[in-house]
Amino acid sequence: MATRALIGWIESDAAGNQVLTSTYNHYDGYPENLGVGLNKFYSEPNEALKVANMGYISFLNPETGEIESKHNDPAEKTVLPDDFEEAMREIHAVADSMGADYVYLYDQDEMDWMHSKMNGVSNLIKTFSMSGIDNQFNSYEDDQDLGVPGDNALGLEEGDGDVIAKAKSALKGKSNLKTYIDSLTNDIRLNGDDAYTDYGDDDWVEDFDNYIYDKSDLDESIKNKWQYRAGIKN
């Protein structure tokens, strides 16, 4: 049965615009098939970007990750509005033009695929809000006010995104990953990425563990201070 879907990747271009790269999926686009296959075989950023750039997919096998495609249609590129909700309306319009039943967008913060059924713009907004996809838009205007040179919506220099991607790949599955990445992004924005360019997977794990340990100590110290002030502790 033709259960159509849009498979999309959103990233900032050199001008700071958020651009949707989207591929059309024709058969079995429901979460139990396409969703499983995407998250099982295409959850790494480079693989996610690859599948979003295919343009036309007939079928993705959730057991093997094999993609059937008999067409050479190019991926669709759509410049999105800066506002998150307006961007969701634009994505809904693109998906609707495909006759899509589902929309799949890659969350670069969590490095996984999120999906929404196509039953109105409000459903897309609700599904993708408070996610890494939402953050790509909500952070845009705030970061422009930092006055830090950069080519993308995070205010990072060209190439800094590679460091972030390496950190996410090395730390995939870690709890509190988003908190660490937010801190890392801010450090790179302020101080550059020289301290991280030679990091391997073990270095990222060690840095992450140290960050979480230090943060836990700080959180506990703050908690004790307020409990003391409230009279809970003597």
129-152, pLDDT tens digit by residue? 989 999 888 544 444 443 333 334
Average pLDDT of the chain, as a whole number? 83
CA gap 188, 152 in Å, rounded: 13
What is the average pLDDT across 68-93? Answer: 93
CA gap 162, 189 in Å, rounded: 13
What is the average pLDDT across 179-204? Answer: 86
Cβ atoms of 29 and 100 closer than 8 Å: yes
**Residue 57 or 177, more confident:** 57
- The contacts of residue 85 (CB under 8 Å, 6+ apart) are 125
What is the average pLDDT across 194-219? Answer: 81
Sort 72 into a burial class: Cβ within 10 Å, 0-12 / 13-18 / 19+. Answer: exposed
Helix, strand, coil % in the chain, rounded to nearest 5? 45, 15, 35
Closest Cα to residue 85, out of 52, 123, 113?
123
Phi-psi region of 99 (alpha: psi -120 to 50; beta: other; left: phi over 0): left
CA gap 72, 84 in Å, rounded: 31
Least confident of 16-20, 67-71, 155-159, 163-167: 155-159
**Residue 209 or 157, more confident:** 209
